[in-house]
A and B are shown apart, each in its own frame.
Chain A
Amino acid sequence: MDDAQQPEPPVDPLAGLAGASPRTVGGAWQPPGTFASGGRGPKLFSAEGRRGTVISTVSTIIVLGALVAIFLLAPGAHAVEHAFLSPSHMWAAFIGNPQQGYYSVGAAILLNIKMFLVAEVFILAFALAIALVRQSTHPALFPIRVISTGYVDFFRGVPLILVIFAIGLGVPALNLPVVSNQSNAVYGVTALVLSYSAYVSEVYRAGLNSVHQSQVAAARSLGLPQRTALRYVILPQAVRNIIPPLLNDFISLQKDTALVGILGTIEANKAADIYSEQVFNFSSFTVAAILFLILTIPLARFTDRLIERDRRRRLAGAAQ
């Protein structure tokens, strides 16, 4: 930190430089590492080697320390700590106690996971169907194309919470056989599928458009019928291109399962809500938040890794 003004001879004159000589950047000498990218894509901050590690550690401690200090020094710090972070309340909410009138948040999260998994399967299939219809050019499909477009416009525009209310309250009121006698979780999942399919179909469409027209020409020129070309040539490439945005939508879906609680379904957020009403302590919500984080963070890191791998593959392809 203190030697920035004191030029030291760089060990490797090209280390940390993106295609420029250290002596020519801006006409003046720059300390090595200033423009470092480390070959890992555009990063806002990056320095190389041991010094970089020291700097990042110190700055992390300062930033986190400042945030903790603000929290601890706030006039209401103690009250907040008791209301949201009480370990005994957190444990009680996590394991639940039906005799006391509240449910286990830890058990309720399993319903969120179940709803997420079921919804995901339906979304993947349904959204693909919508995307394919919207991409079709056959005149006979014109009416379905219009309906699909209207569907996507509608469900992307209406807040998810309203869709959940509409399905969860409206469908049972219809008094139809079978359809009107499902659990609230089923209605919640239906609403999630309807809403998310609209978004995911657009992701699919972007993926289909990302496959170059020359690939279609190559497939068709070999005599492959349109359907076969789609199945073996276009779709596999399209899906590969959209895996990161798809996973991103699914991270979002994982936590939006909490909205189904408004129908009275005992999922993690609803269980936490019930606890807070029974016991007048909000630590149960902290438990729910931690559980959701445990679900979403691995998927987020996995997505990051896929994006990075994809970027490297593209760079390797471009280098040839």
Chain B
Amino acid sequence: MSASPPGADPGAAPGGEAVRIEGLHKSFGENEVLKGIDLAVASHEVVCLIGASGSGKSTLLRCINLLEPVNAGTVWLWGSRITGPGIDQNKVRRYIGIVFQSFNLFPHMTVLRNVTLAPAKVLGMPQGEATEEARALLSRFGLLDKADEYPDRLSGGQQQRVAIVRALAMKPQIMLLDEVTSALDPELVSEVLDVIRELAAGGMTMLIATHEMGFARDIARRVCFLEEGRIIEDAPPAELFSNPRDERTQRFLRRIVDAGRM
């Protein structure tokens, strides 16, 4: 049944194709942001989305997470269709972790409560167990001493790492990262990128929208260049960065190099 969750048994690591997107269109009023996206991400694959602001990277991620309803096209998660009628959004979202550019931690809750809220309320995990797992995750990412702090007492880098931990606490099968370092001071970027590298090394399937070209080159199996709502070029990083085929990709990369960002 189409409403059944993707990878119905989350305990068994699903193999094969994690995400398949076909003919995805998304408009905000008159403004068509995605103009027919086709993309497939394999399990354990890390795919980076690059492109100028407004090219549609964030909207694409938000569509996969069902935060934005799509106008046309289909998204599958491990073979189950997740767009269209009759889909339990909340069930789908349990399998997808998303981290936002602006952290979006809950400011009125401690770090620990930020992390345990969803496991306790959505998965029905007993509070004690949720707390234990949250502390384990926080300690894995060097944040255990911040467990009882409120978000506004943390640096941007720490907040973003907590946001990643909060998403991981739901044991997602795929992580969507939406320009997670763009709001950070330069000296705080690396601590967040290190966390993502660790996730990649652990085999996490990830779709990453980023402006960090060096990072994309290191971590991605494939890099997709988006412009005006279309995927212009989709290639392994070595190829895309050193030998871009499309003229639009070349122009974009030249601007990045000129700006000293690569």
Contacts and interface: CB of A to CB of B under 8 A. Distances in A.
Given A214-B100, A232-B117, A220 B93 contact: yes
Interface stretch (A57-65, A233-241, A295-303): A233-241
A235 to B, nearest CB: 10
A225 B89 CA distance: 9
A319 to B, nearest CB: 10
Contact of B106 (A218, A225, A317): A218
A228 to B, nearest CB: 5
Nearest to B94: A223
Interface string A55-83: 00000000000000000000000000000
A224 B119 CA distance: 9
Nearest to B91: A223
Contacts, number: 59
Contact of B93 (A223, A228, A232, A240): A223
Contacts of B100: 214, 217-218
A232 B107 CA distance: 12
Contacts of B89: 220
Given A236-B108, A237-B107, A237-B108, A224 B152 contact: no
B125 to A, nearest CB: 12
B122 A221 contact: no
A228 B122 contact: yes
Contacts of B118: 222-224
B98 interface: yes
A172 to B, nearest CB: 46
Contacts of A99: none
Interface string A161-174: 00000000000000
Contacts of A220: 67, 89-90, 93
B65 interface: yes
Majority-rule SS of A interface residues: helix
B104 A222 contact: no
B107 A221 contact: no
Contacts of A224: 90, 117-118, 121-122
A53 interface: no
B166 interface: yes
A233 B166 CA distance: 14
A317 B117 CA distance: 23
A316 B166 CA distance: 25
B87 to A, nearest CB: 13
B135 to A, nearest CB: 18
B262 to A, nearest CB: 29
A320 interface: yes
Contacts of A317: 152
B49 interface: no
B170 interface: yes
B102 interface: yes
Interface string B141-174: 0000000000010000000000000110010000
B104 A320 contact: no
Interface in B193-229: none
A214 B103 CA distance: 9
Contact of B121 (A217, A221, A232, A320): A232
Contact of B166 (A222, A225, A236): A222
Contacts of A221: 65, 67, 93, 96, 98, 167
Interface string B100-115: 1010111110000000
A233 B106 contact: yes
A220 B94 CA distance: 10
Contacts of B91: 223
Contacts of A236: 108
Interface in A98-129: none
B152 A223 contact: no
Contacts of B67: 217, 220-221
A218 B170 CA distance: 13
Interface in B72-103: 89-91, 93-94, 96, 98, 100, 102
A215 B100 CA distance: 11
Nearest to B167: A222
A214, A218, A317: most-surrounded residue (chain B CB, <10 A): A218
A215 B151 CA distance: 13
Nearest to B102: A214
Given A214-B102, A233-B106, A320-B152, A223 B122 contact: yes
Nearest to A233: B106
A233 B65 CA distance: 19
A220 B93 CA distance: 8
Contacts of A320: 152
Contacts of A222: 93, 117-118, 122, 166-167, 170
B170 A223 contact: yes
10 contacts: A214-B104, A221-B67, A222-B166, A223-B118, A224-B90, A224-B121, A224-B122, A225-B90, A233-B106, A237-B108
Interface of B: 62, 65, 67, 89-91, 93-94, 96, 98, 100, 102, 104-108, 117-118, 121-122, 152, 166-167, 170
The 5 residue pairs across chains A and B that have the minimum distance between CB atoms: A218-B104, A222-B118, A223-B93, A223-B122, A223-B94
Interface of A: 214-215, 217-225, 228, 232-233, 236-237, 240, 316-317, 320
